[in-house]
């Protein structure tokens, strides 16, 4: 892989560590720990299910992290309506995470497209790849963060397909 690939993922790893520490602190203050929720095992499970670059880039940054862009809308809205003493800390963390995650998804998008090109695949194979690993993957239960996904490299066609699949 080109050196840029490694630079990209080292930067992502650094930022993910920062996200973890920021959110772990908030979780601890409200009486929880990392691992208390099933979602905490998702990345590890996805890593086991994706054994090549194309599927890994499709599933982890372009599916899982992009779903986080969508979830950020609902989480931020819920936090804003809260009267918790942790509200401002959580909103600040969500703002930082959203901007970083857009960049993470963008990096995943770049390397997904790189891998598709090398394999002679179409970028829209993304949907088949993700659905082969997570069959109910595009049944959206929340709003798609169109602006964030476009900034992260998703095409209008992909967003239209996601919208159709979720209905």
pLDDT attached to residue 75: 87
Number of Cα atoms under 13 Å in the Cβ half of residue 1: 15
pLDDT attached to residue 115: 96
pLDDT attached to residue 140: 67
Is-contact 83 145, C-beta < 8 A?
A: no
Q: Measured between alpha carbons, how far is 119 from 115 in angstroms, rounded to an integer?
A: 6
pLDDT attached to residue 44: 75
Contacts of 47 (CB under 8 A, 6+ apart): 56, 60
pLDDT attached to residue 12: 95
Query: pTM for the full model?
Result: 0.88
**How far, in Å, are 2, 14, 50, 107, 128 from residue 11 at the CA level?**
15, 5, 21, 10, 29
Is-contact 46 64, C-beta < 8 A?
A: yes
Q: Could you tell me the mean pLDDT of each successive run of 10 residues in the chain, 167 residues long?
A: 96 93 87 76 79 93 92 88 84 92 96 96 91 84 88 93 82
Block residue for tokens 């169109």: 146
Is-contact 127 165, C-beta < 8 A?
A: yes
């Amino acid at each position: 892989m080109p050196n840029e690939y490694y630079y990209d993922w080292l930067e992502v790893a650094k930022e993910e560590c920062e996200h973890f520490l920021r959110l772990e602190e908030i979780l601890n203050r409200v009486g929880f720990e990392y691992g208390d929720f099933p979602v905490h095992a998702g990345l590890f499970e996805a890593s086991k299910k994706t054994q090549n670059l194309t599927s890994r880039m499709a599933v982890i940054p372009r599916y899982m992290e992009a779903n986080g862009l969508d979830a950020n809308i609902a989480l931020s809205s819920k936090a804003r309506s809260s009267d918790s003493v942790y509200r401002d800390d959580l909103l600040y963390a969500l703002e930082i995470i959203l901007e970083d995650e857009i960049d993470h998804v963008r990096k995943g998008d770049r390397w997904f497209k790189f891998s598709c090109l090398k394999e002679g695949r179409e970028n829209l194979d993304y949907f088949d790849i993700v659905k082969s690993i997570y069959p109910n993957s595009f049944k959206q239960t929340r709003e798609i963060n169109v602006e964030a996904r476009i900034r992260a490299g998703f095409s209008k066609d992909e967003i239209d397909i996601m919208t159709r699949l979720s209905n």
